[in-house]
Amino acid sequence: MPDAPTKPSPERALTRLLDIMARLRDPAGGCPWDQVQDFASIAPYTVEEAYEVADAIRRGPDFPALLDELGDLLFQVVYHSRMAEEAGRFDFAHVAEAISEKMLRRHPHVFGEAAARDAAVQTAAWETGKAAERAARAETGTLAGIPEGLPALTRAAKLTRRAARVGFDWPDAAAVLGKLEEEAGELRAELPGADPVRLADEVGDLLFVLANLARKLDLDPEACLRGANAKFERRFGGVERALAAQGVSPGDAGLEAMEAAWQAVKAEEKLSQGG
Q: Give Cβ neighbours of residue 234 (< 8 Å, ≥ 6 apart).
A: 269
| 263 has a pLDDT exceeding 70 | yes
Question: Which pLDDT value is given to residue 5?
Answer: 65
Q: What is the C-alpha to C-alpha distance for residues 145 and 10, in angstroms, rounded to an integer?
A: 33
Question: Which pLDDT value is given to residue 134?
Answer: 63
Q: pLDDT class for 244, splitting at 50, 70, 90?
A: very high
> In this structure, are residues 266 and 235 in contact, taking their beta carbons and an 8 Å threshold?
yes
Question: Which pLDDT value is given to residue 2?
Answer: 59
Q: What is the C-alpha to C-alpha distance for residues 172 and 39, in angstroms, rounded to an integer?
A: 42
| 71 has a pLDDT exceeding 70 | yes
In a 10 Å sphere around its CB, with 0-12 CB exposed, 13-18 middle and 19+ buried, how is residue 224 labelled? Answer: middle
Question: Which pLDDT value is given to residue 258?
Answer: 94
The whole-chain average pLDDT of the chain stands at 90
At 140-199, the pLDDT tens digits run 788 888 888 888 999 999 999 999 989 999 999 999 999 999 999 999 999 999 999 999
DSSP, collapsed to helix, strand or coil, labels residue 247 as: coil
At 208-232, the pLDDT tens digits run 999 999 999 999 998 899 889 999 9
Q: Which residue has the higher pLDDT, 10 or 272?
A: 10
Q: What is the C-alpha to C-alpha distance for residues 219 and 157, in angstroms, rounded to an integer?
A: 10
Q: What is the C-alpha to C-alpha distance for residues 226 and 209, in angstroms, rounded to an integer?
A: 18
Say what percent of the chain tops pLDDT 70.
Answer: 88
| 275 has a pLDDT exceeding 60 | no
CA distances from 262 to 51, 224, 245, 255, 265 (A): 29, 21, 14, 10, 5
pTM, whole model, 2 decimals? 0.64
For residue 212, give the nearest of 168, 148, 166, 275 by alpha carbon. 168
At 40-50, the pLDDT tens digits run 999 989 989 99
| 107 has a pLDDT exceeding 80 | yes
Q: What is the C-alpha to C-alpha distance for residues 58 and 65, in angstroms, rounded to an integer?
A: 11
Q: Which residue has the higher pLDDT, 76 or 147?
A: 76
| 130 has a pLDDT exceeding 80 | no
Helix/strand/coil percentages in the chain, nearest 5: 75, 0, 25
